[in-house]
Structure 1
């Protein structure tokens, strides 16, 4: 929600593994979170769980963060989003992204650079928008996608994009309702959004683009355990995706390189240890409940934020309860 106080518009990224996302979503709604989001990589089919979440909740916004633009066609994405939007009474947001070569090539067996990920994202968003709200019958002829002679769905679903590189951020500027950055150091978010602002066409207002960053968070009475959870989260993403590595390297070039080199050499413990205290502070929220709330309030005070999305490190599910409680709007 652009223009809203970020402290009053907090989202929660639901776990993909372990605890049932629908149960966590219902708890998040009770705790006053404004939105719940669910990603998808493997094991859990996100739209299936999102449908359950829509049924289990009443007022909280629901979103995909993220569905990739390779494993489903724009038509399937649009139908899925329109159905969830209709069944939720207009609460659904479609979050899209290009994912990583590892997921696209090794899991889905597709070519990541054909013709290029940013072009694919651009056309997917553009075509989904036509399927949602186009006038008459939809015809589209792009470099990647084609569609002909199908009626629009009549469902104005907001579209968010997880964009790190400049090409993907231009897609946000031109076409999207929201931006979901991940692993952009918090002090660099404003400058990163300035690039979006500079490339927003005259017919659009950049201030209408909601900035909804992932906020990796771990709350534990032992602050060392909490900070180690963030180290593991950063090491996993920097080690597995060049886009994430480049985002972190924009502020921590030596640190990102050390983490990436250790992870790709199979030295996972060394990769986590290479995440410095400065990196933890710039990329996550970690500490006791009191420390975490103070850090989160400072983050929410940043003018660029519209909707922080609290994110639990996937290999730190033991901190879920403490984190969702400590950072809940009802408890702050």
Structure 2
């Protein structure tokens, strides 16, 4: 999908560059709007407006060529709009190839003054006790099915009837079928670029704690160690009777424990309390945090949805869909974790 990357203005009008990434290159579209010149045209020259307002398309291997095609002196013109996700690329292009030939203050302001990725990056740099809280949206980007979506497996079954202690005890066949399906859906699923960014932040010492509502273990797979699983782990199997640890393979084969008890995933079922240690550590970290970043959650599930309101620090919400709680955050970035987190990280690494 083509997006507006940059609009620059001259005395005669504006020139806009749209871009769409293909598998190997860029597909650029240039729109020139020189209608401002219309006031200076005589009546008999009005037909020139067709030529003054035009659209052209071109394929190029990189952004540099696209900018050069936009205008050979694009850097000398006035920036009207810079796409937040491409601001750093454009800024580096200015510094690398056109030092001293552009208005640094004007271009810096256009690239970063209202750029949410840059704002988030600055807050992360400044934070001493940053905490991240992730939800289903972070895992959906990796290909994990969202059972709460209208297309999810649960749309035909009431979740409160299957993911419960009652179902485990009274309808184990249905319980087992559901969690077997969920475990099978995780085969081949790997962390995405957003997971990798969060892991990199932990390695750099920028992250005090990562709390997650997800049970898939993708954060640990990406390399995170400071993880608290608030809803447990689907990959951790134990006996429902004696709590002895078992294996995923044994559960999927519907084997019984040595004590005769039934096996179950270590997830928090409806009606169960959250893991005491995980909740306590998360609660303490968020209360002490100077920055809390909430990623990919609708904030509908109690009691985890109460956590962001317990911090005195800055709060950032990153989510594809609006939740209704945006006004309770200092910064809201609408988008997928898969794309938003690498964009923030690009600003952070500058």
Q: Greater share of strand residues, 1 or 2?
A: 2
TM range (shorter): under 0.3
Higher relative contact order (CA 8 A, sep 6+): 1
Scaled by the length of structure 2, the TM-score of the pair is 0.26
Q: Greater share of helix residues, 1 or 2?
A: 1
Larger radius of gyration: 2
